[in-house]
Structure 1
C-alpha cells in the first residue's frame, strides 16, 4: 500500500486501482452526519449530572431543558473534545458518553474533596453507581455545595496531558488509574453498571423514549449527491459496496432506507455493532474474550469474509494478509487503523470532523497515520478509483 504523505493535491488514481473489487464504507462522517449521536451523548451526560434522580446539580451546565442542551451543547461536550477522541482512535459514542461523564464527575469530586471533608469521607473512596441508593448517597454528599463547571474543563485538560501517547481503548481505560491517582477513588471496570446506565440512557434519548425527539439523521452531503456517487460506482460494474460501522443494525437499515441509499449496498456485507456483539459472545464462550469494535479490524474483515469464523479474524496471520483489492473509507483515526490492520487500502474523508479544526490539521492527522489517500468527500472516489466520467 502507498504510505506516502497524502494531501488533497494527490487525488490521483490509487496504485493498482484496477485490482480493487470491494469498497467498504464507514457510515458516520462518510455518508451520515454524527451530529445526532453527539447530541444524544450531550443529553445523556446532562441528564446524569443535572436531573434529580441522578446527581441533581440542576444548573451545572446552565441549560435546564433538552432543547437548550442542544443549542448550548458545547458546555456539556465541546467539539474539541470530540475531535480529540476521534484523533485518538476512539470510535464508540457509548464510550464517549461514559468517558465524558466520568471526567465531569472527577471535576465535581475534586471540588467536593476541597470543600467538605466530612461528605468526602462518607464516599468511602469508592464510586459504584449500580443502583438508586448509591446515586442518592452521592447526591446527598453534593447538595448545598457550589460547583464550578470550569473545574471539569481543567480536569479534562489534565487527563489529555497525561494520556498524550495513548490511543484507542488505552485512553478510556486510563480513567480508572486517573481517578485513583487524583482522587484516591476506585472506579468500576469500563463495562460496568455505570457504563451500562450510560448506554441505556443514551439509547433511550436516541430512540425518543425520554419524551424528547432529536432531529433525524442528516447526511454529510446533499443526499442527491451521495446517491449520484454511489450510482456511478455501481454502474462501473467493478465494485461490491459494503458497510462496516459501529452503529447498531436498526440504526443503519432504517435511516439508509429512508434516504433511499440502502439498495446500493450488498445486504450480506452490512456489518454493524450487532455483529460485533454476537462475535464477542461467541469468542467469550471459547475462553477468548476480546473487544472487536474499531480500531480492531473485525468489522472490515467481516464485510469481506462474510462466512469466516470470527476466531480467525483475531489471529495476526489472518489480519496480516494483503487485501489491496479492498478499500475502507472512513473519517476517523480508528477507521485508518482498522483498514491497516486488515490489510486494506485506507481512504480518509474530511466530511466527519468538526468545523472548528483547520483542514490542514485534519489532513496532517491522516498523514501521520499513514492513510493511503485523503479526499474532501466521497465525491472524489470516482477520480481516485480511475473511473472515467460518462
Structure 2
C-alpha cells in the first residue's frame, strides 16, 4: 500500500515543550527587554532559571490556551506563533498610543516594523500606562474565521478595528516576522550556535540555548527499532518539519535516529525559507502549505518548479503516508491527497483524539511506535 512515509518531528519524534518555552521567552524578551519595547511590569534576563521559564510560558500562552487556539487554526510554526502573540500586544500598545500620538502611530503602522521602529515605539511609550494582556488574544482572534497564514493577515484587521488605520504590513513577508524568527533562534540555539542559523552573533548575548535539552517522545531505542523495521520492510522514510536543519539533524543524530531517514528526503524549515527567498511570490510555503511534504516525497534533488507544478491531489495518494501531530500536518496531507496518521503526542496529548476523529484522519496512533499496527 504505502511506499513512502514522511514524518513530522515535533510532537512525533521529539517533544515540542522546549520549542514552546523558547517561543514564550522570545515574546517576553521583545516586550520587556530594553533592546526591544522595554515595557515595565516584568524584568527581563537572558539566562532565566527554570522557575522563571515555567512562569513565562504559563503567562505568555495563558496556560496554553493561546497555543491550542493557534494550532487548531492550522498554524504549526513556532516562528508564526511568536509573531502572532508579539504583534498582537504591539498592536494593542500602538492603539493606546494612538489616542495621543495619532500621526506617529500611523507612520509606524503603515511602514515596515524593524528595530528602529520598535525603538521609536519604546520612546513613545515612556510614561504611558499600558498593561500586557495575553489572555485577550484568543477573544480577539476568535472574532475571525481566519485559518492558516490568513491568521497573520488578520492582524491588519485588528489594527483597523482598534485604530481606524488601514494597513497591510502584517504578513509572513515582513521585517517584523524576520526579527521574531531571528530572536527565537537566539533562544533555541543559544550564543554558541545561533550564528550558524541566522548568519550573525546573538543580538542579546547570554542565552544558553535548548538544543542540548531535547526530549524524545518515546525512548530513542524504541523509536530506532520501529524505524529500522520500516526500512527493512522496504519503506522509504523522510521528514517534513518546521524545525531548521541544525535543530533537526543534531538531536536526531545524537539519538541514533537520523540514519534511518533518506538524506534526500529530509526537508526542514531552512529549506522552506530558502525556497521562499527564491520564489517570494509563492510565500508562505510553511505548513499547512504542503511544500515540505511534496519536496520530501519527490526528493531534495527535485527542482522547486516540479514541486509547485505537481497536480494536486496526486493520483497515487495511497502510496504516501504523512505522520504528524497537528492540524497543520493534516491540512498539508489532505492538500496532497495522501494518507494521514495522527499521533496523540503533541501539545494536548490524548485530548487531540476528538479533533482528529472529527477531521476523519485516516489513522490515529497513541505514538509513532504504533505505526507498525497499521501497515
Instruction: Please confirm whether the aligned pair reaches a TM-score higher than 0.5, indicating the same fold.
Output: yes
Partner SS state of residue 23, structure 1 = strand
CA distance in 2, matches of 1:312, 1:131: 35
Query: 1:179 touches 1:187 (CA, 8 Å); kept in 2?
Result: no
Partner SS state of residue 243, structure 1 = strand
Partner in structure 2 of residue 15 of structure 1: none
Report the TM-score when normalising by structure 1.
Answer: 0.83
Partner in structure 2 of residue 99 of structure 1: 84
CA distance in 1, matches of 2:279, 2:100: 46
CA displacement at 1:184 relative to structure 2: 2.5
CA displacement at 1:141 relative to structure 2: 2.3
Deviations 1:60-82 (A, max 9, x none): 4x776633541211111231211
Deviations 1:226-275 (A, max 9, x none): 2222223233x231211111211111111111111111111111111232
Partner SS state of residue 179, structure 1 = helix
Q: What is the 5 A alignment of 1:204-223?
A: 204-209=186-191, 210-215=205-210, 216-223=213-220
Query: 1:86 touches 1:332 (CA, 8 Å); kept in 2?
Result: yes
Partner in structure 2 of residue 331 of structure 1: 325
1:83 matches 2:68:
yes
**Relative to structure 2, which stretch is displaced further, 318-327 or 198-207?**
318-327
Q: What is the 5 A alignment of 1:52-91?
A: 52-60=34-42, 66-67=48-49, 68-72=51-55, 73-78=57-62, 79-91=64-76
Partner SS state of residue 123, structure 1 = helix
Partner SS state of residue 314, structure 1 = helix
Distance change >3 Å, CA 378–CA 289, structure 1 → 2: closer
CA displacement at 1:130 relative to structure 2: 4.1
Partner in structure 2 of residue 183 of structure 1: 163
Structure 2 counterpart of 1:194, from 176, 198, 202: 176
Partner SS state of residue 84, structure 1 = helix
Query: 1:42 touches 1:69 (CA, 8 Å); kept in 2?
Result: no
Partner in structure 1 of residue 150 of structure 2: 170
- In the alignment, structure 1 segments of 5+ residues that lack a partner are 1-18, 386-390
CA distance in 1, matches of 2:276, 2:184: 21
Q: What is the 5 A alignment of 1:135-146?
A: 135-146=118-129
CA distance in 2, matches of 1:324, 1:58: 55
CA distance in 1, matches of 2:332, 2:135: 31
CA displacement at 1:370 relative to structure 2: 2.7
Query: 1:53 touches 1:135 (CA, 8 Å); kept in 2?
Result: no
Deviations 1:160-206 (A, max 9, x none): 2212x321111111111211222234462422221111111111121
CA displacement at 1:45 relative to structure 2: 0.8
1:351 matches 2:345:
yes
Query: 2:312 touches 2:335 (CA, 8 Å); kept in 1?
Result: no
Partner in structure 2 of residue 4 of structure 1: none
Query: 2:342 touches 2:365 (CA, 8 Å); kept in 1?
Result: yes
1:364 matches 2:360:
no
- In the alignment, structure 2 segments of 5+ residues that lack a partner are 192-204
Partner SS state of residue 327, structure 1 = strand
CA displacement at 1:47 relative to structure 2: 0.9
CA displacement at 1:133 relative to structure 2: 4.2
CA distance in 2, matches of 1:279, 1:53: 31
1:158 matches 2:149:
no
Structure 2 counterpart of 1:49, from 31, 56, 60: 31
Partner in structure 2 of residue 232 of structure 1: 229
Deviations 1:75-117 (A, max 9, x none): 112312111111111122111111110112233344445xxx4
Distance change >3 Å, CA 290–CA 51, structure 1 → 2: closer
**Relative to structure 2, which stretch is displaced further, 364-373 or 337-346?**
364-373
Distance change >3 Å, CA 342–CA 161, structure 1 → 2: same
Instruction: Tell me the number of residue pairs that the alignment of Structure 1 and Structure 2 aligns.
Output: 352
The RMSD of aligned alpha carbons is 2.3
